[in-house]
Homo-oligomer: A and B are copies of this chain.
Amino acid sequence: MFKNLLLSAIIFCSGLVANDPPSVRATQKWVKKNGHKIIGDFTELLAIPNVALDRQNIRKNAEYISELFQDRGFEMQLLEADGANPIIYGEMKKPGATRTLCFYVHYDGQPVDESKWKHAPFKPVLYSGPMDAGGKPIDLPNKRKKINPEWRLYGRSAGDDKAPIITILNAVDALQASNIGITSNIKLFFEGEEEAGSTNLKVHLSTHRELLDDIDIWLFCDGPMHQSRQPQLVFGVRGVTGMEVTIYGAARSLHSGHYGNWAPVPGQTLSHLIASMKDEEGNVLIDGFYDTVEPLSEFERLELSKIPDVDIGLKNELGLAYTEGGGRSINERLLLPSLTIKGLASGNVGSKARNVIPNSATVALGVRLVKGNEPEDMLDKVEAHIRKEGFHIVYDDPDMATRRKYPKIAKVDRRGSGYIASRTSMNDPYAQEIINATRSFVGDDLILMPSLGGSLPIYLFTDYLKKPVVIVPVANHDNNQHAPNENLRIANLWYGIDLMGVILTMPN
């Protein structure tokens, strides 16, 4: 229906949209009339500080947001757990509805280093365009001011993750204003410590499970849209694990002159080990590393092939003439488990380098997992590889007897077990409904992304609660998520309101 969101923004404002689902006419009419108020409301929401450890303000956010939804007819409550920030939980029952949708949002934001922000992070400022592309601060619009969808609102959590709250609220308002009925039972589940590691999420899910058991599909409203600016739905995330491996030389660091060419060099031994783990094209050579990967369906393969190529732009931006995988696209490569080196350390380099043979060398290995990989099983495979390379494996620093016995010793430290990937099948019937509804609105430009490369504990929903999850991003890809000067592009807010309207009115 449109080539990109820039075009879409022009269309939205000129009112020339045709063949849209009825809800889109309602939401666009609403936005046209109330745009200034929506931006004002968003500004007020962003002005409540929301760092997870700031318990007082977190609760203020929870009560404020709860009230906004209560005003729209949701039955609201705050779900509590010991020492945890509350979950904002809401329900709206629709008689005759054949499904229950639950919107996941997180209302906490990343910690802020104020010194690095142009403006105070919790005093939002509207800009005429991106700050780093010459945008200037402008006043909040009044009723008569024409709103440019390329404006940006700067403030912590503008993109990650308060925007979806505003889009859901206004979609409900717009439908009510146009007397269009919501067609599903709706639940809300807004987390307050996602940016602090979701440490209490599982406790919340298990404590309040009876409230959640009738949910048919979770809509994860988080994360940015595709770099191409095309709308996307995402069906999975990678899991994560890792280990540290330490290789030993002599029991103490040695003079490189008195012992060099005779004493073992831990950095050398470690390099041989690391080199044995991957070929020069970046393929992991560890036995069985790819064996448990669950393949994509034919439908998913087809959708994958339609995703715009971002590799050239990325390589240009990152200064790369080479990527792992022999030229295969990043979208495809992220569907495999990865083995990367987060850190290497032995002795010193630069001005601190001394003429020694250090007594050890350590690598921090990062492992990302895809659907089918179990963290412990993958680490077992790495460990088996190390053993196959001739190392005696220990889990504590070796004593002298051990050192004297084994030519090659590696200490393995599994640093926390990590967690599995999650991926919802695009063939899941509820997922199909979301795909169809979204496509009815955005057309063939819709990107269906099997998985993000990063990791989120979505497995708690897909594997613990055993429900399908679709990630529904709203924020612009350049929203400076987690960084200073976080922002939301207004066109993305409008897109989100339309999209929420469409989802709320999916046919039964």
Interfacial residues, chain A to chain B (CB-CB below 8 A) = 238, 240, 244, 249-252, 254-268, 270-272, 274-275, 277-278, 280, 282, 315-325, 330, 333-334, 336-350, 352-358, 361-364, 366, 368, 398, 400, 403-408, 415, 452-455
Contacts and interface: CB of A to CB of B under 8 A. Distances in A.
Most buried by B among A263, A325, A354: A263
A460 B366 CA distance: 50
Contacts of A282: 261-262, 264-265, 268
Contacts of A453: 255, 257-262
Contact of A348 (B268, B345, B408): B345
B323 A263 contact: yes
Contact of A345 (B345, B354, B407): B345
A484 B493 CA distance: 69
Nearest to A319: B403
Nearest to A274: B271
Nearest to A237: B257
B270 A257 contact: no
Given A259-B453, A274-B271, A319-B400, A264 B324 contact: yes
Most buried by B among A271, A275, A355, A406: A271
A277 B265 CA distance: 13
Contact of A262 (B256, B317, B325): B325
B256 A322 contact: no
A104 to B, nearest CB: 19
Contacts of A316: 404
Question: Chain copies in the assembly?
Answer: 2
Given A251-B317, A256-B368, 6 more contacts: A238-B257, A262-B282, A263-B323, A274-B275, A340-B357, A342-B347
Given A320-B403, A338-B256, A452-B258, A344 B330 contact: no
Contact of A272 (B275, B343, B348): B275
B320 A404 contact: yes
Given A274-B268, A353-B244, A454-B257, A343 B346 contact: yes
Given A257-B452, A263-B323, A349 B356 contact: no
Contacts of A333: 261-262
A349 B344 contact: yes
Contact of A454 (B251, B258, B338, B344): B258
B262 A272 contact: no
Given A257-B240, A261-B337, A454-B257, A344 B267 contact: yes
A314 B415 CA distance: 35
Given A275-B272, A342-B355, A347 B319 contact: no
Given A275-B275, A355-B240, A340 B452 contact: no
Contacts of A266: 341
16 contacts: A251-B318, A256-B340, A256-B342, A260-B366, A261-B336, A262-B324, A262-B330, A267-B344, A268-B278, A321-B405, A342-B347, A343-B348, A344-B361, A350-B364, A353-B364, A355-B366
